[in-house]
Amino acid sequence: MRVIIVGAGEVGFHIAHRLSQENKEVVVIDKNREALQRLSDLADVQTLEGSGSDPRMLQNAGIDEGQTFLAVTDSDETNLIATFYANILAPKIKKLTRIRNDAYTDFQPGLLEKHLNIDKIINPDQELVHTIEGLIAVPDAEDVWELSGGRIQLIGIRLHAGSSLNGKSLVELAQVSPQLPYIVGAIFRHETLIVPTGKDILCSGDLIYVVTDKKHRHDVLSFFGCREKPPENILIIGGGNIGLRLAKQLEARDLRVRLLEKDRRRCNVLSQALNKTIVLHGDGTDQAILLEENIAHMDTIVTLTGDEETNMLCSLLVQRLGAQRIITRLSKFAYMPIAQAVGLGRVVNPRLSAINSILQHVRRGKILSAVSLRGEEAEVLEAEAVADSPLVGRPLREVKFPKGALVLAVVRDHEIEIATGKTVISAGDRVVVLCSRTAVSSVEKYLSVRVKHQ
């Protein structure tokens, strides 16, 4: 598979790096020589220096022989022009375009998709707000993802020192509540991925990813000691596009929202755009203002300024002042492990949200959705099982599945089955699989074509 990527920024870099590790043929176009050199030093990709909106560069990249085209620069205009020429030069290639400005997509919805044959428009801000909403809905979770149209829930739960689950094996947990439909799909211990078996024992500090269906989410969360109490008071620090979008979404759910913005003119814009949200003028790093807003009694604080360092500083400050649930926006991947090291567990990354949305479209087989976990150490894929897949027609305990991978759930005729060794997959079923980064290519093969075993 040949993938042409316009843009070697954070999104383009990480997608190119990931796909090169999976032995895909990747060509990256960017005007920034240093960004291309950084990518070439770390990944086996072809790089071309120049503008992705130049049709000659697209021809040099071999777009007529490509299967997927990604326009993911930080400029909407460059992405649109690049996609325009990609459509002329290779009308049948799958096209994904990153667009942040709502003005382009809200004007006659569907216009761009129709005239430029865009298969998917990626809006990182929109994807990020959806991620934040999931975290707000489950306050004790560090990660919340939805699969199969929201019917399957993937929830990251941190085990603290006093948890009754510490020291228990997964087999023991299953015996405590055998009727509860869930599976522990992954364990992160000191940021190292463990794809678990029943013998694995849970420890304090572990981040476990639990999979269940939506109707049993409350019971499963209660079993793992997580509260699902809806928040009553939410403070958003930063009134940019993402802060505004999030406030509108929370207003629609009748939640009490305050939005703190330091730019007075922007406050006026926000006040006119929002109906119920209380807009406050002030700096999120000002301790006096935070104390005045009774920060320790807020259910959730979300730091969404446009500056990475300010978000980290605000989150650390409100944490010191007694806030319990903090969601921090960080766009730079390099900052994410630092934030986790200082106790900021709920970190959201708009670029990672965009990557998750893109990855499902560049996978082999009938991939329906894809989610990256913990800085891309693991990936959860949802795919339709094809008739000649080795997964089909026999119990999972008899399938020689790739090391570092685990089937989590199966969706058949709108019914959800949490996977066990007895589960038998049929052609056409939706299958949810967790796999380590090194196992992705092997899992793709299992989901698409029959693999011959010696």
CB atoms within 10 A of CB 195: 17
- Chain segment 333-358, per-residue pLDDT in tens: 888 888 888 888 899 988 888 888 88
What is the percent of the chain with per-residue pLDDT over 70, rounded to a whole number?
Answer: 97
- Whichever domain contains 217, its CATH number is 3.30.70.1450
Given a cut of 50, whether residue 274 has pLDDT beyond it is yes
pLDDT at position 198 is 92
pLDDT at position 388 is 85
Return the closest-CA partner of residue 146 out of 163, 165, 133.
133
Same domain, 117 and 31: yes
Q: What tokens does 197 get?
A: 């078996």
Given a cut of 60, whether residue 47 has pLDDT beyond it is yes
Q: Residue 274 is part of which domain span?
A: 233-346
pLDDT at position 46 is 97
Query: For 14-25, b where at least 16 C-beta lie within 10 A, e where not — what string?
Result: bbbbbbbbbebb
Q: Are 158 and 165 in contact (CB under 8 A)?
A: no
Same domain, 299 and 400: no
Task: Report the pLDDT averaged over residues 417-439.
Answer: 92
Q: Are 188 and 124 in contact (CB under 8 A)?
A: no
Q: Are 334 and 352 in contact (CB under 8 A)?
A: no
- Whichever domain contains 12, its CATH number is 3.40.50.720
Question: What is the dihedral sign for C-alpha 293, 141, 158, 344?
Answer: negative
- Chain segment 133-179, per-residue pLDDT in tens: 989 988 888 899 988 888 999 999 999 888 889 999 999 999 988 88
Given a cut of 80, whether residue 448 has pLDDT beyond it is no
Residue 425 carries which DSSP code? B
**pTM: predicted TM-score of the whole model, two decimal places:** 0.84
Query: For 379-397, b where at least 16 C-beta lie within 10 A, e where not — what string?
Result: bbbbbbbbeebbbbeeebe
pLDDT at position 90 is 96
Given a cut of 60, whether residue 229 has pLDDT beyond it is yes
Same domain, 217 and 247: no
pLDDT at position 364 is 61
* Residue 131, domain member (yes or no): no
Q: What tokens does 379 get?
A: 């990936």
Q: Are 209 and 249 in contact (CB under 8 A)?
A: no
Same domain, 386 and 330: no
Return the closest-CA partner of residue 445 out of 375, 388, 396.
388
* Residue 453, domain member (yes or no): no
Give the contacts of 52 (CB within 8 A, at least 6 positions apart). Answer: 6, 7, 29, 30, 58, 71, 73, 78, 82
Same domain, 428 and 367: yes
pLDDT at position 331 is 86
Same domain, 13 and 114: yes
In 3-state terms, what secondary structure has residue 444? helix
pLDDT at position 116 is 93
pLDDT at position 453 is 38
* Residue 384, domain member (yes or no): yes
Q: Are 13 and 35 in contact (CB under 8 A)?
A: yes
Tally of domains within the chain: 4
* Residue 108, domain member (yes or no): yes
Same domain, 238 and 209: no
Q: Please provide the average confidence, as pLDDT, over all residues in the chain.
A: 91
Helices (H), 107-240: 111-116, 124-137, 170-176, 217-223
From 346, 367, 384, the end of a domain falls on 346
Task: Report the pLDDT averaged over residues 91-116.
Answer: 90
